[in-house]
Amino acid sequence: MNRCLSLTLAAAIAAAGTLAAVPAHATAATGCEIQPYGLIGARWQQLGGEHGKLGCPTTGERDIHQNGVGWAGRRQTFARGQMAWSPKLGGNFVVAAWAAGGNAYVDWHRTNRQFDTFLVRYTSAADPNGVQKDTAGGFRGRYIVKARTNGGYRWNIKGCDSNLIGPSSCQKHWSISVTG
């Protein structure tokens, strides 16, 4: 009986998206109240950690579910932007967005394979219908827009390959959206 109860409780906690407690030593290491971890935490450190482009986290990681995809990955909000892990685009695919110096930035890192191009899609108060641009391929990339609004920009990324005969072939899903 106790085993069934604990398994049911564990399933309920997992379904609710409750995050594991952060060890006290981990929060003291950065000075941030919430300590990023996993792939989002590693990319956050690469972008400068608490003194970098995104600042300290303001939320823990949260599961993201998308129509037609089901569970799509995880997103975390920071003082100056967001980061998301989109495993359907590659096991290590992390996208970050932030604003600084009058520009809006999106940075994606480590796809599982090299792409010929990436599609970058964004919306904002200045571009409510959205804008979609092709940018250079590879395993990673960054796109910058001169900010035309004091509101955030919402970004999505997708990798594509050129096709000599016919249209390009792109990944089936877009990344989880991030705002910066």
pLDDT > 90? residue 113? no
pLDDT, residue 69, reads 74
pLDDT tens digits along 118-162: 999 999 998 889 999 999 999 999 999 998 887 789 999 999 998
Handedness of CA 15, 18, 20, 26 (dihedral sign): positive
What pLDDT, on a 0 to 100 scale, did the predictor assign at position 28? 41
Asked if 52 contacts 77 with a C-beta cutoff of 8 angstroms, the reply is no
Confidence of residue 29 (pLDDT cuts 50, 70, 90): low
Average pLDDT of 95-105?
Answer: 95
- Pair of tokens at residue 74: 């995880």
Amino acid at the residue 2: N
Residue 22: predicted pLDDT: 37
Instruction: Answer positive or negative: Cα dihedral of 17, 18, 21, 22.
Output: positive
- Mean residue pLDDT across the chain: 83
Does pLDDT of 95 surpass 70?
yes
Kindly report the pTM of this predicted structure. Answer: 0.80
